[in-house]
Amino acid sequence: MAQRNIERQRVPLYNDTNQNIPAIARYMVGTESLDNASAYSVVLESAAIDLGQAVLNTNPGYRVMIWCDLKDDTVPPKPATLQYGANYFSFPGEIRDVSQVINWLYEILHKKALPFDLGAIDLNGDDLFELNITPATYTNSYQTGYFQVYFNKPLANLLEGLCSTIPLEAGAQLNYEMLTTASGKTTQLIPTLERMNKLESILLFTNLPVTKVGLADAKTGTVRKEAILGTIEFNAGQYNLRAKTDWRYIPNVFRHSTLEGVSGIQSYEIWVMLRYTNGDMRAHVLGPDERANINIAFNPRGDIF
């Protein structure tokens, strides 16, 4: 009768290059410390993965509409960057960090209506969005009726408290007017920053001979079998969306995956995939000086004669 013990292994990955690398951790045993895979189950005990390069939202769909009531022959004339009526500005691409959205809003509100200013939206120290409209901005841009600013539904959801709750239908979308007062700053009553993040889960795939599990593909409506060591439901509350740091995972309930086959295990790989609420799946990458530390345990399933 062969006596087998729990074998714990730390699978580290550190990016010591000056460019991004795939988040694929490799473990080389050297000798067949696990001589019979089917005699063990494997469990993910903990993981620490830097997510500095993670995309937060693959398709935010944010859009701003500026309604301009000025024309070329009015006094004052319309800004050169706007046309009379509706002007649409869509967020370009995906969101990698919070500053992208803040800078995009700055470019629209401060620069699209020059020489007029339409206000400013930023985050305060409590991660609440704030809208600042100075008395001069209110008098020159809004009290005159020259401009109105609207957010589409996804952006209004992010900026809740800074816009009307009554929609206006325009451009085949619902739009919500930005609040405009001369009282200075309007601050959200509830935090909504985490709504920017659409990262749903972190999946650890492996080439270990584990029993494959079904993985639903929301985009195609199909289910495929994959070798997945662990599925980690992403909790934005454990992750600083502004600094993109300090994410750790230690499960409360350990899921054991059965190993198959009678051959020994000398080496294996674990790679990190990111899954989003819209069904998108992305291979994760680590930036320079970023790391991933994954701790797993091989547990004997019973004595082997």
pLDDT confidence of residue 146: 96
Q: Which whole number is the average pLDDT over 241-261?
A: 73
What is the radius of gyration, based on Cα positions, of the chain? Answer: 26
Q: What share of the chain is helix, strand, coil (3-state, %, to 5)?
A: 10, 45, 45
Give me 95's structure tokens. 């969101």
pLDDT of residue 219 exceeding 80, the answer is no
Q: Is 140 helix (H, G, I), strand (E, B) or coil?
A: helix
pLDDT confidence of residue 303: 44
Write the DSSP assignment of 11-33 as a string of letters: EEEE--SSS-EE-EEEEE-SS-S
Read off the pTM.
Answer: 0.84
Reported as a single tens digit per residue, the pLDDT across 74-87 is 999 999 999 999 99
pLDDT confidence of residue 9: 87
pLDDT of residue 50 exceeding 90, the answer is no
Residue of higher predicted confidence among 238 and 166: 166
Task: Kindly list the distances between the CA atom of residue 115 and the CA atoms of 72, 79, 136, in Å, as whole numbers in the listed order.
Answer: 14, 7, 12
pLDDT of residue 248 exceeding 50, the answer is yes
pLDDT confidence of residue 305: 33
pLDDT confidence of residue 1: 44
Q: Which domains does the chain have, with CATH numbers?
A: 7-56+198-300 (2.60.120.1100), 63-194 (no CATH)
**What share of the chain has pLDDT > 90, as a percent?**
54
pLDDT of residue 236 exceeding 80, the answer is no
Enter the DSSP assignment of 58. Answer: S
Contact (Cβ atoms closer than 8 angstroms) between residue 53 and residue 20: yes
In this prediction, residue 49 has a pLDDT band, given cuts at 50, 70 and 90, of confident
pLDDT of residue 66 exceeding 70, the answer is yes
Distance of CA 164 to the CA centre of its chain: 26
Contact (Cβ atoms closer than 8 angstroms) between residue 21 and residue 48: no
